[in-house]
Amino acid sequence: MTTDQVMQLLPAYMLVLCRISSFVVVAPIFSSRSLPRPFKAGISVFLALLVFLTVGFDNPVPTDATYILAVLKEIIAGLFIGYTASLFFSLIQTAGTFIDMQIGLGMANILDPISGVSAPLFGNLKFMLMMLVFLSMNGHHYLLGAIMNSYKWLPLDNRMFQTVYEGRLTEFLVRTFADTFMLSLQVAAPLVVAMFITDIGLGLLARTAPQYNVFVIGVPIKLLIGFALLILLMPGFSTLFQIVFDRMFNALEKMFVIMKAT
């Protein structure tokens, strides 16, 4: 391959690298703080090379002032794809926050080594279980397949700015955020409802037997009930995570359809 051919292919490869690298920055699993930055940079370069060799780009990429806009479009596309996937992982921690607030562990947050921020106890437990299930079913391979197949729906000569201007993509992201928040409430519903019934029982106990200090006996009772229900619900987490993953990939497919519609 001559130098002229390399200079013709390099702009297209750099556009691919912009989308892949921006996806790796925000996508679940790949954006983990436990992964070293050289690894993230290396996997971005390697994936961009695979996409470039697999998909192939015959049309020449202009290297004038519009190239800057093309770079921005690819970065926005990668961020949108990674952000949509990360929403369905964050809903588990949101559900854990609701559970901890009801059980009485709202102040007992721990440092999450994956995200680097404080996370609730139950949310962090469910998040780690979700990560294990996701990796066991090769979900990270499906994520890589999604970003590679995005070029079939959204080629380099896309109209990302027009899609954002029309508002359909923004409406999709807002609806997806609302759906994930509602799903987090549904995930936390069994324990939250159980804690609400426990509070009602403690309130009746305080009215019928004032000699009992509800504030003293209420905390251990809610903890025991919460942990007992968690043990009972633990076997169903794998099925729950499968439903979350299915909705995540369906959301990614819907986003690709919206992007292609222009």
pLDDT tens track for 51-83: 888 776 666 666 677 778 888 888 888 888 888
Kindly tell me the burial class for residue 54, based on how many C-beta atoms sit within 10 Å of its own C-beta (0-12, 13-18, 19 or more): exposed
Residue (of 68, 231, 249) closest to 176 by Cα position: 249
Which structural domain range is residue 88 located in?
A: 3-260
Query: Residue 225: its pLDDT value, please?
Result: 85
Query: Residue 246: its pLDDT value, please?
Result: 86
Q: Report how many domains make up the chain.
A: 1
Query: Residue 38: its pLDDT value, please?
Result: 86
Interval 156-179: pLDDT, tens: 777 777 777 777 888 888 888 888
**Interacting residues of 134 by C-beta distance below 8 A, sequence separation 6+:** 28, 29, 140, 241, 245
Query: Residue 149: its pLDDT value, please?
Result: 81
Q: Report yes or no: 222 and 192 within 8 Å, Cβ to Cβ.
A: no
- Token output for 183: 């799903």
Query: Residue 107: its pLDDT value, please?
Result: 61
C-alpha–C-alpha distance, residues 262 and 260, integer Å: 5
Q: Which residue has the tokens 């069994």?
A: 190
Q: Which residues of the chain register pLDDT less than 70?
A: 1-8, 56-63, 105-123, 261-262
C-alpha–C-alpha distance, residues 58 and 36, integer Å: 35
- Token output for 133: 């299930």
Residue (of 214, 189, 25) closest to 94 by Cα position: 189
**Interacting residues of 149 by C-beta distance below 8 A, sequence separation 6+:** 256
pTM of the shown model: 0.79
